[in-house]
Amino acid sequence: MEEVGELLENLRVKEPPHPTTTTPIKIGDKNYDIELSEIPYLSAFANFERTKAQTQQMELVHGPIAHFDIALEGMEFGFRQCFRSLPPDLAQHHALCETYEFLCIDVLGGQSLNEIIGGLKAGKKDHKRMDKLLKFIKADRSKARDAAFKLLYLILRGEFEDETKDSTKVYNAVMFIVSHAHTFQSRTRKVVRAAYEERFFVSVKQRAGLDKWEKTDAAELAEEDEDENDVTTEEEEEPIYFCYDSYSRSYYDSYYDETQGES
What are 3-13's pLDDT values in tens digits? 545 544 554 54
**Range with the lowest mean pLDDT among 39-48, 78-87, 102-111, 218-227?**
218-227
Confidence of residue 220 (pLDDT cuts 50, 70, 90): low
Average pLDDT over residues 184-201: 96
Question: Domain residue spans in the chain?
Answer: 23-102, 113-262
pLDDT(66) > 70: yes
Looking at residue 103, its pLDDT comes to: 98
Poorest-confidence range of 30-39, 111-120, 138-147, 153-162?
138-147
**Above 70 in pLDDT, residue 259?**
no
pLDDT at 35 over 80: yes
- Enumerate residues 6+ apart whose C-beta is below 8 A from 66: 95, 96, 98, 99
pTM of the model: 0.74
Mean pLDDT of all residues belonging to the chain: 79
In this model, does residue 158 exceed pLDDT 70? Answer: yes
What counts of helices (H) and strands (E) characterise the chain? 13, 6
Q: Which residue has the higher pLDDT, 70 or 212?
A: 70
Q: Are 120 and 177 spatial neighbours (Cβ–Cβ below 8 Å)?
A: yes
| Backbone torsions φ then ψ of 105, nearest 5 degrees | -90, 130
One-letter amino acid at 38 equals E
- Return the higher-pLDDT residue of 215 and 161: 161
Average pLDDT (101-106) is: 98
pLDDT band for 161, please (50, 70, 90 cuts): confident
